Amino acid sequence: MSIMKRRTQRQAWACGAMLLLMLAACGRDAVDPAKPPAEPVAAVQAMARAVAANDLLAYARLSVPPAQYRRLQDAWAQGHSRWPLTELPLHDQLLPMLQALSAPDGNQQLQRSFERQLAGQTTAVRQAAQSMGLFGVQYLRHENTITASQRSHYIQAVETLAGWAADAPISDRARARAAITALTGAARATGISDDSHLQQHGMEGSLQKLGPFISVLKAVMASYGLDVDESLRDLTGEVLSQQGDNALVRLQYPLAGQTVSLQIPLTRRESHWYLTRTLADTDALLRNADAAQAESDARIAPADETGADAMPPAKP
């Protein structure tokens, strides 16, 4: 196997782990996206419950106001957006991960890669997890593009996940065989391995197809002792401050036997609460999408006019 293919596979697994971390950071029952909660903490809990139910479509609808949601659908259809997939950490590795898992020989390739790199290497895996945890914490301590609150949350999560990985049965052959079989089957079932598939299915269709894959991914992680659904369902919080349409909340969720806390700002728009960062990201995305579409329309218009001028006059 080439070095590039092995790197792609390692990135695919890393993407899966980071995806789960993101889901846990979000935070029990069915969710009605047509009726988003009117209280800040409840709004975050509703989004977390949607992910716990593997309903990515409900999660997307709860994440932005209805009018903005419709514009994001249009931007996806025009090829200018892949939100909410772009909200994922390492989102640019999602398609390579699905491609590697859904390849015709993906199962065999990943099994062979596991045998070479991880099988029976309990001590090596534990040392690697500890080293990566230390490296991650040091990196976060010196990262100047995140807020102090984000840094605190990320450090808690990295330390907790490093501790989990050090003790998880990652090198177990039977468990890995079952996990790889489940993931490759779920990846193939999505029918998604490149951007043309996302374009073909549209935003809602793509999210509906990815939901079952997320379900299997979480089940695999649970088999290794990391219960993401517990983190999502048991998320709690309190409002620290609220001034007009802005609120700051403290959230807590269980993760690998520890309790992780974070503070996030929310903004009220159209009588409902949304993550401030998500609104800022999607506002910017839609501005860029509108500009790109306007530029595309401007290029097409002269061609249409030229074609019209060249047409012969209709016969009487």
Per-residue pLDDT tens for 139-154? Answer: 999 988 888 988 999 9
Using alpha carbons only, give the angle 104, 110, 111 rounded to the nearest 5 degrees. Answer: 110
pLDDT digits (tens, 9 = 90+) for 57-85: 999 999 999 999 999 999 999 999 999 99
> Rounded to 5 degrees, what are φ and ψ at 64?
-145, 160
Beta strands 246-255; 236-243: pairing state = antiparallel
Give residues with Cβ within 8 angstroms of 196, minimum separation 6: none
H or E element at residue 306:
helix 276-310
**Banded model confidence at residue 15, pLDDT cuts 50, 70, 90:** very low
Q: Contact 219/225 with Cβ under 8 angstroms? A: no
pLDDT in tens, 262-273: 999 999 999 999
Residues 52, 44 contacting (CB under 8 angstroms):
no
pLDDT tens, residue by residue, 229-278: 999 999 999 999 999 999 999 999 999 999 999 999 999 999 999 999 99
Cβ atoms of 74 and 255 within 8 Å: the answer is no
Three-state SS at 263: strand
Domain ranges of the chain: 3-120+172-300
* Nearest one of 85, 114, 105, 106 to 15, comparing CA atoms: 85
Q: Report the distance separating Cα 266 and Cα 249, nearest Å.
A: 8
CA angle 215, 161, 221 (to 5 degrees): 25
My answer on whether omega of the bond before 84 falls inside 30° of 0, hence cis, is: yes
- Length of the chain equals 316
pTM of this prediction? 0.81
* Residues 254, 263: Cα–Cα separation, whole Å: 15
**What's the CA gap between 176 and 173, in Å, rounded?**
5
Task: Give the pair of three-digit tokens for residue 3.
Answer: 């070095």
